[in-house]
Amino acid sequence: MKYQIRWGCHETNSSSMHSLILTKKNNNIRMTQEEIRSEFYLDEEWYKERHKDDEKEVVEIDPWENEFGRSPFSVLSSFRDKLSYAIAEYCGNNYSRIESYIKSEKVFNEIFNPLLINLIGCDEIEYGKKDYRHFEIYSDVGGEYLDEVEQVPYGNLVYIEKENRDDISDDELVAGMYKNMSKDGRPIEEAWFYIPDFGSIDHQSWGLLEGFLKSNNLTLEDYLVRKDVVVIIDGDEYCELDNLINCGLIEKDSIVLRYPKHGSYDCCEGIEDEETN
């Protein structure tokens, strides 16, 4: 015997449901460098006047939004918005240890720096968004702890391998021992750092972009400059994209590819569970 136990109920353990979409419109049309530069206002007269004495053209990447969860529903189609999502994918989600921040900056410098310099046609790239964070760092020398708080670049900290340290930090943010080599080799107890906030993507959708590129034999540059590639930010308790398609506001035929295929289920359909008496 079948019993209808849910009808149009939202999933209580809600997750993001991001999609990468290829649209029929603008099929494989790529942004020009002029169009990309216009998103950073680089060729505007007021910008040129403000930077007329600069020796180099330095573009600061400072996304206004870099946290991508299950809401609000968004369509990322501009170069800057898609770039912000890509940076969050490749460099973000680094909440734990100092090494993860150092690694993220290395990824940004190796992947995004040369790519953006080429696409924008500028001299240098700077990532401007910083987060001022405190880390406790414990001394490794004779169990002595310093009381002072030092202002030091976290990139100057050197990780001490477990087998070479005497004290172990239980701090969740620093699962290890560090020493600062820029202060005459003296270890420090705690410090404040300007951490680059590269953003984050909900765990349910993290890795989606890399999977999309690999599955469709596309490069990161393709994703950024192709006008027919857009990112949909959605949640499985909303299914806004499905709703827009189902009610006719978006023609289903205008979507060439949707990655991943979330299936044909409509979040307003009833879900039947079987129970046997």
**Whole-number Å distance between alpha carbons of 239 and 223:** 24
**Whole-number Å distance between alpha carbons of 25 and 256:** 9
Quick one: pLDDT at residue 266?
Answer: 39
Whether residue 167 is found in the same domain as residue 57 = no
Exposure string for 14-41, b = 16+ CB within 10 A, e = fewer:
bebbbbbbbbeeeeeeebeeeebbeebe
**Whole-number Å distance between alpha carbons of 230 and 274:** 39
Q: What separation in angstroms does the CA of 89 have from each of 63, 130, 230? A: 14, 17, 15
Domain end (from 149, 167, 196): 196
Whether residue 45 is found in the same domain as residue 181 = no
Whether residue 102 is found in the same domain as residue 222 = yes
Whether residue 36 is found in the same domain as residue 82 = yes
Whether residue 156 is found in the same domain as residue 266 = no
Mean pLDDT by 10 residues, the chain (277 residues): 51 79 96 97 96 95 91 96 97 73 88 98 91 56 39 48 46 38 46 76 94 96 98 94 94 94 45 34
Domain end (from 150, 175, 196): 196
Is 264 inside a domain boundary? yes
**Whole-number Å distance between alpha carbons of 93 and 107:** 13
Q: Into how many domains does the chain fold?
A: 2
Quick one: pLDDT at residue 133?
Answer: 66
Is 174 inside a domain boundary? yes
Whether residue 95 is found in the same domain as residue 124 = yes
Whether residue 155 is found in the same domain as residue 118 = no
Question: In this structure, how many other beta carbons lie within 10 angstroms of the beta carbon of residue 130?
Answer: 12
Go through the chain and tell me how many residues it has: 277
Whether residue 136 is found in the same domain as residue 184 = yes
User: How buried is residue 84: exposed, middle or buried, by Cβ count under 10 Å (0-12/13-18/19+)?
Assistant: buried
Whether residue 239 is found in the same domain as residue 170 = no
Host domain of residue 221: 2-8+29-129+198-274
Choose among 62, 45, 66: nearest CA to 126. Answer: 62
Quick one: pLDDT at residue 2?
Answer: 56
Q: Which DSSP symbol is given to 179?
A: E
Quick one: pLDDT at residue 11?
Answer: 46
Residue 152 tokens, joined: 């030091």
Whether residue 50 is found in the same domain as residue 154 = no
Whether residue 67 is found in the same domain as residue 88 = yes
Domain end (from 179, 196, 213): 196
